[in-house]
Amino acid sequence: MEKLIINGPTPLKGEVNISGAKNSAVAILPATLLIDGVCTINNVPNIMDVKLSCQILEGLGAKIKWIDKNSIEIDTRNITNTIAPIDLTRKFRASYYLIGSMLGRKKEIEVGLPGGCNLGARPIDQHIKGFEALGAEVEITGGNVRATAKHLIGSNIYMDIVSVGATINVMLASVLAEGTTIIDNAAKEPHIVDIANFLNTMGADIRGAGTDMIKINGVKSLKGGQSYSVVPDQIEAGTFMLAAIASKGDLIIKNCITKHLECITAKILEIGGNVDMNGDKLRVWCDKRPSKAIIKTLPYPGFPTDLQPQMGVVLSLAEGTSIINESIWESRFQYTNELNKMGAQITAQGKSAIFEGVTKLSGASVYSTDLRAGAALIVAGIAAEGRTEVYNLEHIDRGYENIEEKFRNIGADIVRVVE
């Protein structure tokens, strides 16, 4: 078993480069199934979820060639299977994008019900509603999802809730459908725009991504023959921004889209941190104890749920009493038990948590309960006094590229060891 050993506290200082967005890459890779050709994807984060996505694509007949550690050439001319490697699809959430892509490409697909972080109930009813509106039949049996269609015909689809996954999945299924599809009450996250840009680069006709109404005019085929670069990871950038604040450090965060970080910047400024945006980089620093805040997680452009645990670390060290209301996931406060082992004073109940700010955290052995919880525990270990051991690294490795090396390069005393 691997663990991270962190000795703190260390004020983080220096420059860090942001990788391509995980949640974009894990949708773009299955989206390549819509292409009858070859394409190259650059700025791909080298993480477990991407490696799994590649294995699944190969299982369906795609040919994958890693050009370097962040670039992949994908040949999807010969897609032979319509049953995805079931065990692999159960290992992560984004395998649900195979349904939209393969419905578009082959009108048929079977995948395992998607797994991923345990954040409470994660239904896919809005995905299914969209596929059915386009003319597909969807059946869930024996833990698998099977979707088939004779024809896919464009439709007007109103999403009952704002869902990132359902918006992307229905967009994927409608790219090669006959006629026009309109997705109303669509999610607006940066990676939705990224996936639409990718598909348009390959020949699709998608308009309005990034607004709450997306219009997809079906095209006959996607030819590929192009390269595309994945957008920088908003959540990785936000994780380092909050690490700078929690550790009272001073970081230059490079290769990011500062517009995507405004929702985080606003809260950092409110609690007394500093942010200076400059082109595709920003400087974040903090030289005093942050002050309390009230946070509610919301779909983009609201405060992202995927930065809630990292912000929780900052607020556990802030002056005064803070409140976080988690409005996206039922069960995203599991990390607070681990932070309390480090001396935090957090009371979590249901979808709310109260943070009585403490002046210091102390090192302890802690367990990541999910991906972002794991990132938050690393940040806590860097800010805490003494030795912290972080376990269950498989969650963290699913979504962060070289995380300990990136933190080491900005001064953290962090090593990975095999126990």
Residues assigned a catalytic role: 117
Which of residues 21, 164, 253, 376 is near ligand EPU by CB under 6 A?
Answer: 164
Q: Which residue among 372, 376, 390, 410 contacts ligand EPU (CB under 6 A)?
A: 372
Q: Per-residue string for binding with ligand EPU, 94-133, x by CB under 6 A?
A: x----------------------x---xxxxxxx------
The count of C-alpha atoms lying within 13 angstroms of the C-alpha of 187, restricted to the half-sphere facing its C-beta, is 26
Could you tell me the two tokens for 384? 């805490």
By CB under 6 A, tell whether 136 contacts ligand EPU. Answer: no
Specify which residues 322 forms β-bridges with: 355
Does the protein bind ligand EPU through residue 398 (CB under 6 A)?
no
Q: Which stretch binds ligand EPU (CB under 6 A): 4-12, 164-172, 215-223, 344-352?
A: 164-172
User: By CB under 6 A, is residue 26 in contact with ligand EPU?
Assistant: yes
161 binds ligand EPU (CB under 6 A): yes
CA distances (Å), origin 34, targets 84, 101, 219, 294: 15, 6, 11, 43
- Please tell me whether residue 260 binds ligand EPU under the rule CB under 6 A: no
CB of 157 to ligand EPU, least distance (A): 12
Give the residue with the Cβ less far from ligand EPU, 260 or 372.
372
Indicate whether 247 belongs to the interface with ligand EPU (CB under 6 A): no
Q: Which of 30, 45, 112, 165 binds ligand EPU (CB under 6 A)?
A: 165
Nearer CB in complex with ligand EPU: 125/137: 125
Site for ligand EPU in 206-235 (CB under 6 A): none
* Segment lying near ligand EPU (by CB under 6 A), choices 133-141, 161-169, 287-295, 309-317: 161-169
Q: Does 396 bind ligand EPU (CB under 6 A)?
A: no
Using rule CB under 6 A, residue 312 touches ligand EPU: no
**Of 47, 60, 166, 243, which lies in the binding site for ligand EPU, with binding defined by CB under 6 A?**
166
Identify residues 326-345 at the interface with ligand EPU (CB under 6 A): 328-329
Based on the shown chain and the rule CB under 6 A, indicate whether residue 371 belongs to the binding site for ligand EPU.
yes
Of 237 and 328, CB closest to ligand EPU: 328
The 174-203 contact track toward ligand EPU, x by CB under 6 A, reads -------------x----------------
Distance set, CA 95 to CA 21, 30, 49, 133, 191 (Å): 16, 8, 10, 21, 16
Least distance from ligand EPU to the Cβ atom of residue 49, Å: 8
Closer residue to ligand EPU in complex, CB, 228/335: 335
Residues of this chain that bind ligand EPU (CB under 6 A): 23, 26, 93-94, 117, 121-127, 161, 163-166, 187, 305-306, 328-329, 371-372, 399
